[in-house]
Amino acid sequence: MRKLTPRCIGPYQILKRVGNIAYQIALPPSLSNLHSVFHVSQLCKYIFDPSHVIESNKVQIKENLTFETLPLRIEDRKIKELRGKTISLVKVVWGGATGESATWEVESQMHDSYPELFSPGKFRG
């Protein structure tokens, strides 16, 4: 399962302003499949803090602009009622080169894809 995590990679140098609301960025050759002009809403202001910088060589970006994260553990469980149906959800903590993040996932789908998460000692809720 591949997840997109709302993070910024970089920093990259701004080459020039394109119109009123876009900038051209100097991207490395590994990101040559991306268009180099971005709307300002897609850019993150960079305030120097070494712990926030993700080295782009540690994140392997796929052709479809996703990167792989793996589930580390299950943090919590809950039952959701939708139109008279009961859906079991688990809060999964994902990890990878970009750090940890958590999302709610359908328990049966996670059990099919990652049965090792449901072994004794993996649930921390």
The DSSP string of 46-72 is: ----GGG---TTTS---TTS-B--EEE
**Between 123 and 70, residue with greater pLDDT:** 70
In this predicted structure, what is the pLDDT of residue 69? 79
Distance of alpha carbon 71 from the chain centroid: 12
Give the three-class secondary structure for 29: helix
CATH 2.60.40 fits 71-118, yes or no: no
- Angle, CA of 106, 86 and 123, to the nearest 5°: 45
In this predicted structure, what is the pLDDT of residue 124? 55
Q: Where in the chain is the domain with CATH 2.40.50?
A: 71-118
How do residues 33-80 score in pLDDT, each as one tens digit? 888 898 888 888 766 777 666 665 556 666 776 667 788 889 999 999
pTM: 0.48
